[in-house]
């Protein structure tokens, strides 16, 4: 119960139930960054982001694209010699950023996650065409046309749904989720 809470402490609190070791056990070996398939596209590699958290560089960490570029492949997690659950850390940073509505502006990740979560709240199952709307706007014209062509081909091959699927017990399903998170409009 220290009075001065560091950013590293805040992250530790988000990870209080994690199965991995605390971030301050990191030895900066770089196995995570060497393993991460997204690292070349990140502003800061996973190794560096852990060092930055331990150095209390909150703004730089939260405003980086690093954690939104994590694809959840868990390769870093299984290889970390200190058994830090790095992929879970990326989830924790995403939660922190969603709850505080603070993230780098040009990212699609936050909108996509929100759309996905909302879709499942609404129908119990996911539906690709709705999910697509969260990213199509970010495309230029040629990319958009190509995406539309791929979608059309998939549709013709019977691989894209025309109507969203729904679970039958939707009312109970929504009430169930409402017991975990008190969303409005359930009654």
Judged by CB under 8 A, the chain residues 106 through 145 that form the site for other proteins are 107-110, 112-114, 116-118, 120-121, 124-128, 131-132, 134-135, 143
Judged by beta carbon, residue 105 or residue 185, the one nearer other proteins is: 185
Burial class (CB in 10 A: 0-12, 13-18, 19+), 16: exposed
Within residues 148-187, the interface with other proteins by CB under 8 A covers 150, 153-154, 157-161, 165, 167-169, 172-173, 175-185
The distance of Cα 117 from the centroid of its chain, to the nearest Å, equals 11
Quickly count: other Cβ atoms within 10 Å of residue 79's Cβ.
Answer: 15
What minimum distance in Å lies between the beta carbon of 150 and other proteins? 6
What minimum distance in Å lies between the beta carbon of 26 and other proteins? 18
Judged by beta carbon, residue 28 or residue 95, the one nearer other proteins is: 95
What minimum distance in Å lies between the beta carbon of 31 and other proteins? 13
Contact pick of 27, 28, 95, 148 for other proteins (by CB under 8 A): 95
Place of tokens 């139930």: 17
- Interacting residues of 56 by C-beta distance below 8 A, sequence separation 6+: 6, 7, 8
Quickly count: other Cβ atoms within 10 Å of residue 66's Cβ.
Answer: 22
Candidates 24-32, 48-56, 96-104 — which segment interacts with other proteins by CB under 8 A?
96-104
Within residues 54-93, the interface with other proteins by CB under 8 A covers 68-69, 71-75, 77-78, 85, 87, 91
Report the candidate in 80, 108, 93 with the shortest Cα–Cα distance to residue 52.
93
C-alpha torsion angle, residues 38, 43, 45, 46 (rounded to 10): -90
């Amino acid at each position: 119960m220290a009075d001065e809470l560091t950013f590293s402490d805040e992250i530790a609190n988000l990870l209080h139930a994690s199965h991995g070791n605390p971030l301050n056990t990191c030895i900066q070996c770089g196995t995570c960054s060497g393993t991460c398939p997204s690292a070349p596209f990140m502003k800061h590699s996973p190794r560096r982001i852990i060092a930055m958290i331990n150095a209390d560089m909150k703004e730089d960490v939260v405003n980086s694209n690093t954690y939104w570029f994590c694809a959840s492949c868990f390769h870093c997690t299984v290889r970390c010699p200190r058994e830090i659950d790095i992929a879970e850390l990326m989830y924790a940073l995403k939660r922190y950023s969603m709850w505080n509505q603070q993230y780098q502006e040009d990212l699609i990740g936050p909108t996509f996650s929100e759309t996905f979560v909302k879709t499942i709240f609404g129908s119990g199952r996911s539906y690709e065409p709705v999910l697509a709307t969260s990213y199509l706007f970010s495309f230029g014209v040629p990319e958009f046309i190509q995406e539309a062509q791929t979608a059309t081909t998939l549709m013709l091959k019977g691989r894209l749904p025309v109507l969203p699927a729904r679970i039958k017990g939707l009312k109970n399903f929504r009430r169930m989720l409402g017991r975990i998170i008190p969303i409005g409009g359930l009654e």
